[in-house]
Amino acid sequence: MSYVSDFLIVALLAGAIATLEAKAQTTTPAIGAAEKCDQFSQSDRRDCVDKMAADSALVLKQAEAKAVAAIAGWDEDDKYTRLAKSRLAASGIAFARFRRAQCAFATSMRGAAAGDSHEISRLACVANMNAARVIDLARETAGLPPK
């Protein structure tokens, strides 16, 4: 009896994991700054990802402002809008710290790569993470009922 119940638990967990993996694959945005610039020479590729990183920083600033505006216009008690704004600000600080650490890790995975490979990797990581953050902010604040 115990063997059958163990088998059922394993089967249920495997099914749940497969479902989560399938859902993650369909909801994860395909973001690839480095791949979008692969058509260029190395120096032009660096310029391309540098521009993408700079553009993504501007788009992120706009998304953060939109999120603040959405929360400010949210039909909710002031206590909760203040809390949401405070947590958004804290989240932004934590995101910047995480992005810096994650992109340093991603860059370190280039090993002894030559030329601008490390900086290209870092800039592409920054652009990708900024784009993902923009999507997250939009998702979290979309559909808030206005006052």
Give the sign of the dihedral formed by CA 81, CA 85, CA 91, CA 95.
positive
What CATH number is associated with residue 128?
Answer: 1.20.1270
Residue 61: band (very low, low, confident or very high) from pLDDT cuts 50, 70, 90: very high
Asked if residue 50 and residue 22 are part of one domain, the reply reads no
Instruction: Supply the range of the domain harboring residue 76.
Output: 31-141
Asked if residue 25 and residue 43 are part of one domain, the reply reads no
Asked if residue 39 and residue 20 are part of one domain, the reply reads no
- Please report the pLDDT score of residue 18 as a whole number: 53
DSSP one-letter string for 107-145: HHTTTT--TTHHHHHHHHHHHHHHHHHHHHHHHHHTTPP
| pTM reported for the whole predicted model | 0.76
Quick check: is 146 in a domain?
A: no
Residue 138: band (very low, low, confident or very high) from pLDDT cuts 50, 70, 90: very high
Quick check: is 22 in a domain?
A: yes
Look at the chain and report how many structural domains it folds into: 2
Asked if residue 64 and residue 10 are part of one domain, the reply reads no
Asked if residue 72 and residue 18 are part of one domain, the reply reads no
Quick check: is 147 in a domain?
A: no
Asked if residue 4 and residue 48 are part of one domain, the reply reads no
Asked if residue 136 and residue 84 are part of one domain, the reply reads yes
Quick check: is 36 in a domain?
A: yes
Asked if residue 16 and residue 55 are part of one domain, the reply reads no
Quick check: is 70 in a domain?
A: yes
Beta bridge partners, 146, equal 74
- Please report the pLDDT score of residue 38 as a whole number: 82
Quick check: is 84 in a domain?
A: yes
